[in-house]
Amino acid sequence: MNKKVIFGIIGFFLGFPISYYFQPEKLRAMLSMTDYLQSIPKLASSDKGDFLTPIIFSCLISTAIFVFIGYLLDQNNKNVIVAKPQKRYCGNCGHQIDEDYPGEFCDQCGHKLD
């Protein structure tokens, strides 16, 4: 699964507790956050749209924000450039030196390597 999907799922579920802060003051005075989260199914099935609308919007908005964050993280991983080891050359004769060559001197001309 890519990061957009994972972050979208996280954002959707974070929308429920966030929606508590967009509910009417009357409801927040009656219910604590945990009571609110436990009674979301009852609120969603009620006929009053003023309780359901903040739930829907906060879930949609937080999902969109988190999908965008996942998109940015996916794009960031695509733009990573893996540095290849640079080749070493002898400064005197131009001979290419192996990366794992342990010596200090060129094996072609004997010149001291940098």
Ranges of beta strands (E only) in the chain are 88-89, 96-97
Sequence ranges of the domains in the chain = 3-78
For the segment 63-88, what is each residue's pLDDT rounded down to a tens digit? 999 999 999 888 877 766 666 667 77
Helix (H, G, I), strand (E, B) or coil at 88: strand
Tokens of 57: 């919007």
Residue type, 53: T
Residues 88-105 have a mean pLDDT of: 82
Helix residue ranges, H only, 1-114: 3-19, 25-30, 33-38, 40-45, 49-78
For the segment 30-45, what is each residue's pLDDT rounded down to a tens digit? 999 999 999 888 877 7
Supply the mean pLDDT for the chain: 85
pTM higher than the cut 0.85 = no
